[in-house]
Chains A and B, each alone.
Chain A
Amino acid sequence: MINIQSLTFSYPSGEFQLDIEKLSVASGEKVAFIGPSGSGKTTLLNLVAGILPLQNGSIKVDNDEISALSDTARRNFRITNIGFIFQDFGLLDYLDVRDNILHPYRITSALKLDSGVQGRADMLAEQMGIADKLLRHPSDLSHGERQRVAICRALLTGPKLILADEATGNLDPKNKLHILELLFESVKSHGATLLAVTHDQELLPNFDRVVNFNDFLQGEAI
């Protein structure tokens, strides 16, 4: 699914250099990225998503070389193949829950919003237990509910890859586990691959694999 080779990346400020000799993630695998803040976990997610330009090396997602894609193709690839889940949920306050879930379809011509998509959004909301909150605004929801909305949005396009950046970081312990279970179930049912950045040691046993970014900072290959 994901093949990373000879990747090096550094910011102009030179705060750190990410150095990954080789990293492979199989399709359907659930991988946790751990490591201290500033070790490059979010940077790698952004590189895989094509948000940050690759400086050296190669990242292939399903045999598509990310760096070889044009800007437009990379954006279209991202919106159709990758689902993002953010620590602060990344929901828009001025849209109700339904419109937040459907949001990716309204910001690109690569996706077509039709009744089928709307039905799928309702179904996802049903699965996530927020079907009765579709007309509410994010500010009316609890943190747990907001993250469920964000998961629905990430899954709606049927992505091959889910990138979760501290997705449970803002949740209480009970909600954390519950949301993670929901996420795993959804990922599994959609046949997607999950790359999740987390600082929470308790959640690690639930993942198929844990990648420690301290290893990359030392330049070791996995």
Chain B
Amino acid sequence: MIDSLYLAWQYLRFNKARTLILVSCITIIAALPMALEILLNESEQQLALRADSSPLLVGAKGSALDLVMNSIYFGNEVPEAITMAAVEQVSDTGLAAPIPLYVRFKARGFPIVGTTLDYFDFRGLQLQQGEMFVMLGQCVIGAEVAMKLNLKAGDYIVSSPETLFDIAGIYPLKMKIAGVLAPNHSADDLGVFVDIRTAWVIQGLGHGHKDVTKTTDSSVILKKDKGNVTANAKLMQYTEITAENIDSFHLHGDPTGFPVTAVLAIPDDDKAGTILQGRYLGKEILHQIVRPKEVIDTLMANIFKIRNVLDAVIMLVGTATLLALILVFSLSLRLREREIDIIFKLGCSRATIAKLLGAEICIITAISLAICGVLVSLIFHYDQMLVRNLFI
């Protein structure tokens, strides 16, 4: 058998391209279903875990899935904004504690989550280094953001403009990193958390600039009318909030009308939660309230159906690949007719020839399974990260 393996190995080494193609085919077809199974299980687990720990969400009427995905997984689909009045409404019921969430902007590809310090207590998030944001313009970043961008407390991160070529648009805000969260193995690891007012500053609802009433530069003044000074576009806005300029930062308008994407409502108990849900049943109510768990369960049911289709597709592709491999081996038998004739004439039995070909199949399968094993182990090891980057 050792001689058969030796000869088969020499043959496979000599015909590298053929071997590589066969190994790739078998590896892919073996690894694909396993990898998908691992990733789907992990995504199911991650989605369910996060949804379970988020009792109720209030948001604009529309897609409940978008609302849930954006609010608890910080997904890219931004639901229609509601106002801070919704936060007060929840608070006024006395049934639940509201936590506002404004998840719309990004900083170097990571979602900026505008919220309050209550969010950290609710999620049980701990700091790994630094401190919580204490003033406007500061942020706390998730563990994975820190690792991927190689950032630490004291560094800076800049918000990304929403439209790159809109020169009259919102200025990027340079934010100081006050702290880095300890790994939580959830979407929080990927968030850049700021005070909700900082999110509004990023949106342009608030800004800071020189006091135009005290400026001596007349070129920045558009109009002076009864002590009311209007500046023109020449007036430079601050792109970073510092201890020196923080007093110049102000919000324009009524704060109750400022936007949030969702309100995380934490009811006092199940009964309070049910009563609160009832308050949002009326047709005249502009908001919807959802239980993330129910939304995710529906999503899971759909994923389960898709998984069945996927399994069938993989099975079909696998069968096709297997047939193609059988074809390749039988064609290679034809191509090797001369070689087989020679070794038969030398005195080799047909069983030995079969053994030689069997050894080739064994080696190719063994290499493929080894690579497949490594791939599956890697996917298993990094499944949490992969799921967060690929699916959520």
Footprint of B on A, CB under 8 Å?
Answer: 46, 49, 51, 71-72, 75-76, 78-80, 82, 84, 86, 90, 92-95, 99, 103-108, 110, 113, 137
Contacts and interface: CB of A to CB of B under 8 A. Distances in A.
Interface in B8-49: 10-11, 13-15
A75 B15 CA distance: 29
A113 B346 contact: no
Given A94-B10, A94-B14, A113-B3, A107 B343 contact: yes
Contacts of B348: 75, 79, 107-108
Interface in B179-222: none
B6 interface: yes
Given A86-B345, A99-B10, A108-B349, 15 more contacts: A49-B345, A71-B349, A75-B347, A78-B345, A79-B346, A84-B345, A93-B14, A94-B13, A105-B3, A106-B3, A106-B6, A107-B3, A107-B347, A108-B348, A108-B352
B370 interface: no
B343 A51 contact: no
Contacts of B4: 106
Interface in B338-392: 339, 342-349, 352, 356
B274 to A, nearest CB: 74
6 A-B pairs closest in CB distance: A79-B347, A94-B14, A106-B3, A107-B348, A78-B347, A90-B342
A80 B10 CA distance: 24
Contacts of B349: 71-72, 75, 108
B153 interface: no
A71 B349 CA distance: 9
5 contacts: A90-B342, A94-B10, A104-B346, A106-B6, A107-B7
The SS class assigned to the B binding surface is: helix
A136 B348 CA distance: 24
A109 to B, nearest CB: 9
B342 A86 contact: yes
A84 B342 CA distance: 9
A71 B350 CA distance: 11
Contacts of A80: 347
Contacts of A84: 345-346
Contact of A106 (B7, B13, B342, B345): B7
Contacts of B13: 94
Nearest to A49: B345
Contact of B346 (A71, A93, A95, A103): A103
Contact of A107 (B10, B14, B346): B346
Contacts of A79: 346-348
Contacts of B6: 106
A75 B345 CA distance: 9
Given A79-B347, A107-B352, A95 B10 contact: yes
A104 B343 CA distance: 8
Nearest to B353: A107
Contacts of B356: 107
A113 B3 CA distance: 10
* Residue of B343, B344, B345, B352 with highest tally of chain A CB at under 10 A: B345
Contacts of B347: 75-76, 78-80, 82, 104, 107-108, 110
B342 A94 contact: no
A103 B10 contact: no
Contacts of B15: 94
Nearest to A108: B347
A90 B14 CA distance: 17
A92 B11 CA distance: 9
A51 B345 contact: yes
Contacts of A71: 349
